[in-house]
A and B are shown apart, each in its own frame.
Chain A
């Protein structure tokens, strides 16, 4: 929606979502906010403001993250001793199931597309809110309901679900998993699945239709680009999961035999449907975090992103390929066409490699400063590098035969997922926290958090690769001491507790920022995207005015006019259009 620009300098934003939102003076945002609805808790409960919903999402997701993290510590404590009886088999199975479910369904995705994206995308594209604010609120409340249902399923008779987060049929049917916990798990997937679908709709609509004047698609910051692609992937993947879950529910309660051999069904069908959701889901989890890092690195390098268009095409091709690789999770079933899924899985390495070189190219020749967000981004690069390289190995069916369902795979996906959701996720948190709350976090505590997390991370997962190669299967509660797995497991447990310890610095940081606030100002990092143009926190409808948008970092162009480049990322037609408008504006 490139509309005519009256003045090249400052633009009054269009505000389709909120009539009457114009005219708040800067510095009066809190007051402005209060005028728009009820106060206090009621404001929070009834708010359709993307910033309030985004913060609610983030808080809820972080709570599930910490609950799930504690479960991981119990799991690691159990495995430190080969014959440990810290928890019994049933509890152990529930713990690893809920650890995976909470992390993947309730933390990793919602933190990114419900939390950070909800807050940041409208700001980055210069919109007053998400396209459908009420739908956005519904997303959050569905998510909160689903999250509570899954987390609380521990207390029902029979305990929580205990078949792993992938719930393979027929282990998840009513004969093998009769408990209410399984039904709650399925219902929770239904609720959070719909919440994700609604958020996906909202993201796509917002980025397509609510961009500010002058912001062509090739001037949308990469974080928002990745959220657009994530939104599309959500719309592809989550309905399939919902269908699979409904069919499993019917098998359990209404006597259908979709996944049962006895009634003529096919158990492997669950795996096909689940992974047709599950592999795009991996990129639904990863792309937002790639976007965060892609936004952070240029800011702390004081340079524009290297290879912006390459980045966009890499993201698009990752998304396209991700819909055709699901059966690489099923190589050892013996019932899938190996070379096809192997080749497509290999191909994903190419756009992912492009991203790596673009990140390096962005830093090349820059003036790098390693404040906390940049440090966490570097942690992401190294974690994702090793996770990515081992991922290429797993794309090979014979290598997958030798490592499938062992700790090698466990180490691989933890490196990828912690690399993205934790390193990049917290990079984003430290990066945007000043924008969200108008106060800085402590650099010292942030750096301590990073270094303990970084060291703990490698001490935890490198031994897991080795113990996996020594033959340790995943999801076992004990093992023979004669297997020689004990030492590596103990090392891994020590690392896990170092990771746990690192988060104490995070909590200390939050507490300190609330007790002794350090004002952040509008743009503490000299950021380039539009969110840094408005105040911290932004006013109710985000902007009172906008800078001219000539590249993917309009704020930077505005603050550094002497370094503005003529060749912006818009195509030639748009550049000519912009220049013409500017000339007109200058004359008038």
Chain B
């Protein structure tokens, strides 16, 4: 139904997404055994950082941020299953145990202060623990390296990508290398849309903006989404761990072709990434030669002083 014009001239072959899904994940059978074995392990152990995280249907995360999020998700799921399972079984037990057997009037008790205090107090403790783990993970996921430094603590250069969402498509600008890739929805066969090529093993800083309405930048394997808001510059870091193909999609309803607003991320080695950039420049996919999309009358993000926004110190939005 869709095709993307002006995409990458040398599309890298798609790999089966499951292979990129969990690079270090054990085979399904082993995973099941680990899962079963883990049921015997008490919940505090799981939450306490023991190296055991059932996937519960989610991606284990292809970025370091995504892995942190996954661990939080998995731990919370385990807690939820234990508490929800306890309450569910308690309901089931009560329903079966106290089915009406006679016309005898049951004892008319209606309160028990100690029990009520107990089942108020325990949830307070559970919530406090969940909130603590949430804040720890959130600060990791949301941390961004100062782009002004350009070099991370590990000595790797920071890759700077500006993502522009528009009705209906994506543009990926690499300002340091004067490369721009974009793709728009037209009628044609289905495909994964424009591709954002990124190096793995390096910090990638994405600057996300929208040209028109609100869009959602979402890559399932990164366990991450962020709105592209008109008038707002959103910045986040991605540290992709392994090479792979990671499909992404707009998640926020943005008009007629919202369903077709696909893109993908292709993670390659830093050397391949440099080669790819040079190829793009040679092909002429440079920033100034890419026509602005039709809907792009004065870019709304011009209202924000971009240089200030980018030079801001390590933003830890919402950290305590």
Interface of A toward B, CB cutoff 8 Å: 83, 89-90, 92-93, 163-164, 168, 170-171, 176, 261-262, 266-268, 301-310, 332-339, 342-343, 346-347, 349-350, 353-354, 356-358, 360-361, 363-370, 378, 381-382, 385-386, 388-390, 392-393, 395-399, 401-402, 404-406, 465-466, 469-471, 473-480, 482-483, 560, 563, 565
Contacts and interface: CB of A to CB of B under 8 A. Distances in A.
B47 to A, nearest CB: 13
A393 B253 contact: no
A335 B84 contact: no
Given A267-B229, A307-B111, A369-B100, A396 B106 contact: no
Contact of B123 (A164, A353, A393, A401): A353
B259 interface: yes
A393 B76 contact: yes
Contacts of B258: 93, 475-476
A261 B230 contact: yes
Nearest to B136: A398
A404 B318 contact: no
A484 to B, nearest CB: 8
B193 to A, nearest CB: 10
Contacts of B103: 367
A318 B246 CA distance: 40
Nearest to B94: A363
B98 A93 contact: no
A219 to B, nearest CB: 13
Interface string B281-318: 00000000000000000101001000000000000011
Contact of B98 (A368, A399, A483): A368
A343 B112 CA distance: 29
Contacts of B109: 303-304, 306, 365
Contacts of B259: 89, 92, 475-479
21 contacts: A268-B232, A342-B131, A350-B127, A357-B115, A361-B115, A363-B95, A365-B107, A366-B98, A367-B98, A367-B104, A378-B95, A389-B81, A396-B137, A396-B138, A397-B134, A399-B73, A401-B69, A404-B218, A471-B220, A473-B250, A474-B251
A267 B254 CA distance: 14
Contacts of A89: 256-257, 259
B252 to A, nearest CB: 6
Contacts of B218: 404-406, 471, 473
Nearest to A367: B100
A243 to B, nearest CB: 21
Contacts of A170: 212-214, 230
B228 to A, nearest CB: 10
B277 to A, nearest CB: 28
B151 interface: no
A390 B127 CA distance: 14
A473 B249 contact: yes
A266 to B, nearest CB: 7
B25 interface: no
Interface in B27-57: 56-57
B189 to A, nearest CB: 10
A557 B60 CA distance: 58
Contacts of B224: 401-402
Contacts, number: 281
Q: Pick the most buried of B90, B110, B134, B167: most chain A CB atoms within 10 A of its CB.
A: B110
B141 interface: yes
B7 to A, nearest CB: 16
A346 B98 contact: no
A560 B106 CA distance: 12
Nearest to A474: B251
Given A401-B224, A405-B251, A365 B56 contact: no
B108 interface: yes
B62 to A, nearest CB: 12
Contacts of B236: 334
Interface residues of B, number: 96
A332 B227 contact: yes
B108 A303 contact: yes
B138 A356 contact: no
B244 to A, nearest CB: 14
Contact of A465 (B57, B66, B231): B57
B199 interface: no
A60 B73 CA distance: 42
A402 B223 contact: yes
Nearest to A85: B1
A310 B113 CA distance: 9
B80 A304 contact: no
Closest 8 CB pairs of A and B: A471-B220, A338-B318, A405-B251, A402-B223, A261-B231, A476-B259, A469-B57, A304-B110
Contacts of A466: 57
B247 A396 contact: no
Contacts of B130: 346, 392, 396
B141 A398 contact: yes
A354 B249 contact: no
B30 to A, nearest CB: 20
Contacts of A370: 95, 99
Contact of A398 (B138, B190, B216, B257): B138
A176 B300 contact: no
B212 to A, nearest CB: 7
Given A368-B95, A381-B91, A306 B77 contact: no
Contacts of B112: 306-307, 361
A404 B110 contact: no
Given A368-B95, A393-B80, A465-B57, A335 B232 contact: yes
B256 A367 contact: no
Given A261-B231, A334-B232, A93 B69 contact: no
B265 to A, nearest CB: 13
